[in-house]
Structure 1
Amino acid sequence: MPRAARQILVDALDNLERHGFRRFKQHLTEAEVERDFSRIPRGRLEGADTVDVVNLMISYYREEFAGRLAVQLLREINERSIADGLEGDLNPGGAVVRGAGAKPQGTVVHPVEKHFIQIVQNFNSVDAVLDSLLARQILTTEHYDKIRSYPTRQEKSRELCVIVRGRGSQAKDALWDAMVDIDPFFTNNLSGQ
């Protein structure tokens, strides 16, 4: 991450409208964070402005994860153009095509990201995948119980994808591998798209 990462994050969050910034802070309090980090307490974010939020993110998560998390949360609250701009600014080596849903050129999109909607809407074996990820310690028992508590398969799949996306590329790889093992027909159809 470049030296001016703190200012890049501040500039990106300054582009949010008041309602969007409030939603960003709400998602930040609920975000799944990498194993070595803990969530920022909700009380620390109340009344915090963009500089305060960025300072908290960097002090809790260090610059690299803070940047990745900010991009992820911006996408979750449908601020894709700000997320794409932030991602490009944080990774200046890759050319970025600006616009909704644009990705840095030359990068490979992970299948869990690429097929998120199809997984949520159509993947039928979510319970078997949950069992596999729990056994491999990709999910905690809290994650497992939370996901299992959702009444529909689509809600379970959505929450599973959201949690796994927040846990990094190894977790996404494990999810995709479990899906390939459990339902190769489904994943082969997705890969052919």
Structure 2
Amino acid sequence: MVSVLLLKYLEELGKKEMDKFKWFLAQGVDNYNKIPHGILEDAQSREALVSTLISKYEPDRAGRLTVLVFRKMDKNFPASQLESDLGKVSTTVLSSSKGVTFVDKYRVELIQRVRLVDPIADDLKPLIGDEKYANIRSSRTSQDKMRVLYSFLSGGATIKEKFYESLLKNELYLVKDLAGDSVPH
């Protein structure tokens, strides 16, 4: 997944390098709009920054932007490695839209019937960040938690696929009930 790759590469940056990375994002790079300083300041963790990039640009463009920023920072070797890794991942992410379709199609049913929201939120935490994770966990009922969780799924196909994978892990029988026999085991 693109988000996992971006996180892996960003974890290699020290504090000063992360500040420089964010500085380039705030300036705008090539045909990518700049990200306001306030949003970048809110994204204090690397996980939150990855979520910000993916929600603003979609996974493939967020990956390409990260490569461009690495090159501007003269980090050409990691940029080339990331570019290669993204090429391998993007084909599998793009060809795997079953989860996105399922998550969109069964929104109402999932909000009403998912009971194990906390483990699902745990799985999504690297993509959504600490603040959104806390918002989900602080909701009272599982339906309220699911509504909050769904409000964070606008980040594109990557987060919806991860949500679907978590549903398969934590709510397999519900997924089978909704989708029939076409669910992988």
TM-score range normalised by the length of the shorter chain? 0.3 to 0.5
Q: TM-score, normalised by structure 2?
A: 0.45
Judging by fraction of residues, say which structure has more helix.
2
